[in-house]
A and B are shown apart, each in its own frame.
Chain A
Amino acid sequence: MDGRRLRGPLRFGRLAAMIDSLGLTKRFSGRTVVDDVSFRCEPGTVTGFLGPNGAGKTTTLRMICGFSKPDAGTATVLGGAYRELPNPGRRVGVLLDASAQHAGRRGREALRISAETMGVQAERVGQMLELVDLDRAAAKRRVAAYSLGMRQRLGIANALIGDPEVLILDEPANGLDPEGMRWMRGLLREFADRGGTVLLSSHLLREVEAVADQLVIIGGGKIVASGSREELMAKAGTVVRATDAEALESALIYAALKPRSDSNGGFVVDAEPRAVGAAALAGGVVLTHLAAAQDAGLEQLFFDLTSGEQKEENQ
């Protein structure tokens, strides 16, 4: 009866997720580049790890994959440390840098090397090349002749070759054209819909918001927001415009709401439309527009959340 082993899934009294980052912290020469980063990735979901360049995304992913030792916190993949996986390529597909391939090696050969290392059939190489749309001619060429987009495709093929349950991809959309980006989104969605777990990073909200079930936004090494797209959009606030902008502003301030001017002569308010409407009514202001911020707000939120940290860093 006790044949079922609890291989580490119970950690700190909670069930470990497929990927579980708990308080990951990394300092480089006194500067904290990743600061207490915690998030979980569940099976069947795509997690978008978002943040501007230099926010600590790559360092976090490197810690999860055992390339970098955290100064504090832990990361587990499939319930244990990545480096303790006996044959990681068969469980976790990793793409940390598409340029990290030998320039003098042919694309197909690079995949052969990985396939042989993890002990999968050589036929997988051809299948993966087909899957990522690298044709025979491209597969025969040396990686030096590859564009960044082709390297990304090769890297994704390399990550998928072991038929893993988990995918960890760092900026996989870099260098892909819009068509390639759409293709990749479809691929990741399908992977997750079959029960797989995807963690991908990006510095562009647009790249991931359409495919991610969960967004984790990082700025200056800290997680500044996380949740589903809908949850974050709710936080993005309300856009409101009135016939008299000044009167609207004072009404909002009077109601203890904090209006921020947007580019169209209106305001973005961190509150539900209902509260904003009530404030306008109390101030006797005629509204011409009142709506949840939605997409534009999410972008604004992403920008606000991460740009503040950037400024701090630049000082």
Chain B
Amino acid sequence: MSTVVTADVRPGRDSRPGPARLTRVELRKMVDTRSGFWLLLAVAALMLLVVVVVQISGNDHDRIISEILSTTAQTGAVLTPVVGILLITAEWGQRTALVTFSLVPHRMRVMLAKILAGLALALVAFAVAFVLSALAVAIAPSAADDTWTLPLSLVGQYALYSVLAMLIGLAFGTAFLSSAPAIVLYFGLPIAIGALGSISAISGAIDWLETGAFAPLTEEIVGGKDWAQVLTAALLWIVLPLAIGLWRIRRNEVK
């Protein structure tokens, strides 16, 4: 019998790329460009530097695991969101969206993968911070009683802080689709809004709206009002820009 050539000869030809595969691709895009590679290296170097500086210059109270981890995680949370921003804005700035969306025409599937990849990076960075901090404390333990005291809920808060910072970056990247304004405003806007807090007439309201609302997460186990402020600030800094950006991406033409 003669061979019949059918579509089955090439398996996978009509199977939609799933979220796991697309997320893996987005993680790859984070590290395979010059800018992404050096940024991530800088994040790791900075975290290492912070750990070393604290261990050399800190007093016994500074050199406990909960303090060191807080500082290291925050350091990571400063720069990793920029990788998140670039993961999104580069598609427009470098115009790779033309390739990306020709392979995956459903743009929201790509955006979901980018957000998942961003969250994965934030958690990996946090894990690195954890390992570095634990190593530092193990190598040069402080004399304080609570050197190794680290409640699980505090670890959760630190991790959440890293995730929230990444989400703000992703949201800003999505809203602006352009690296420069997204990065400048990611760093500048929180300072500007925070400064408004010094005006006594509105400082009460600003507490609910500034990114400073996330800061308590890195300090101690937080309670009800703090959580409420985390929520309102997250709505303003994450949900709103993300919603605007996704709506634009769905609607606008890719040039």
Contacts and interface: CB of A to CB of B under 8 A. Distances in A.
Nearest to A67: B254
B102 A96 contact: yes
A82 interface: yes
Nearest to A163: B10
B15 A119 contact: yes
Interface stretch (B23-31, B133-141, B192-200): B23-31
A87 B15 contact: yes
Contacts of B29: 113
Contacts of B95: 97, 99-101
B28 A113 contact: yes
A66 B103 CA distance: 11
A90 B28 contact: no
A83 B14 contact: no
A117 B103 contact: yes
Given A67-B253, A158-B99, A163-B10, A88 B105 contact: yes
A67 B98 contact: yes
B13 interface: yes
Nearest to A142: B34
B25 A113 contact: yes
Contacts of A97: 95, 98
A65 B24 CA distance: 25
Given A88-B102, A113-B28, A116-B25, A104 B35 contact: yes
Interface in B131-151: none
Nearest to A89: B103
Interface in B9-52: 10, 12-17, 21-22, 24-25, 28-29, 32-36
A109 B99 CA distance: 13
A85 B98 CA distance: 16
Nearest to B33: A104
A96 B98 contact: yes
Nearest to B10: A163
Of the listed residues B14, B32, B90, B106, the one surrounded by the most CB atoms of chain A closer than 10 A to its CB is B32
Interface residues of A, number: 39
A118 B103 contact: yes
Contacts of B24: 116
Contact of B94 (A65, A103, A106, A120): A103
A27 interface: no
A298 to B, nearest CB: 32
A105 interface: yes
Contacts of B98: 67, 96-97, 100
Contacts of B17: 87, 117-119
A88 B104 CA distance: 7
Contact of A116 (B21, B35, B90, B99): B21
Interface in B98-128: 98-106
A113 B99 CA distance: 10
Nearest to A96: B98
Nearest to A105: B33
Given A99-B95, A102-B96, A117 B25 contact: yes
Contacts of B97: 100
Contact of B16 (A87, A96, A99): A87
Contacts of A53: none
A114 B96 contact: no
A100 B96 contact: yes
A52 B124 CA distance: 51
Contact of B96 (A69, A94, A101, A106): A101
Interface in A189-242: none
Please name the 7 residue pairs, one residue from A and one from B, whose CB atoms are nearest each other, closest first: A104-B34, A83-B105, A100-B95, A104-B33, A100-B98, A86-B16, A90-B13
Given A82-B105, A100-B99, A105-B32, 4 more contacts: A90-B10, A97-B95, A105-B34, A142-B34
14 contacts: A86-B16, A87-B16, A87-B17, A88-B105, A90-B14, A99-B95, A100-B97, A101-B96, A102-B33, A104-B94, A116-B24, A116-B25, A158-B99, A163-B10
